Amino acid sequence: MPRAAEVMVVEDSLDDFQALARAISRTGVEGVELRHFSSAQEALDHLTGLADTTRLPHFMIIDLNMPGMDGKHLLRCIRADPQISHVPIIAMTNSSHAADLHECYAQGVNAYIRKPIGFKDMVDAMDATIRFWLGTVDLPRADNLPR
């Protein structure tokens, strides 16, 4: 069973964040703490301001289309900072543009998910995502990185 974990969600739409949170709660996976940031800049400031890098999230879910700094810019900033570059990032977006998909993978995104339309599909997508990232893979953490 997946271990307790913090998932950072960067989503400007409160409605979309709340739907995501409800979907995750319906998966039955316990111990998942969501930390919501409504802007990419706010999320980046939080990540780069952490004095204790063992407090980094287990992974992030980011929206691509946000006002101000968008999700692709956030992705580039995170990947350019060696203190936080190891945090897995999942892009979750309404975009169906192949260029967005390819650009995100070229910039180092770990997964790209199109936002499901129906709630059941959202629950299924979040169940698979949470179980994969927290139960199947070994994640890099600040306390297990090579020195």
Residue 144 lies in a domain: no
Residue with tokens 């897995």: 88
pLDDT tens by residue, 88-106? 999 999 888 899 999 999 9
Residue 87 located in a structural domain: yes
How many independent structural domains does the chain possess?
A: 1
CA distances from 33 to 9, 65, 86, 99, 100 (A): 10, 24, 19, 32, 28
pLDDT at 1: 39
Q: Is residue 143 part of a domain?
A: no
pTM of the full structure: 0.90
Instruction: Kindly state the average pLDDT of the residues 108-129.
Output: 94
CATH number at residue 128: 3.40.50.2300
Give the structural domain span for 128. 5-137
pLDDT of res. 50: 80
| Angle subtended by helix axes 119-131 and 14-26, to nearest 10 | 70
Res 56: pLDDT:
87
Residue 92, CB-side half-sphere exposure with 13 Å CA sphere: 24
pLDDT at 52: 67
Q: Does residue 17 lie within any of the structural domains?
A: yes
Q: Give tens-digit pLDDT for 21-75.
A: 999 999 988 889 999 999 999 999 999 988 666 778 999 999 999 999 999 999 9
**Residue 71: both structure tokens together:** 């999700």
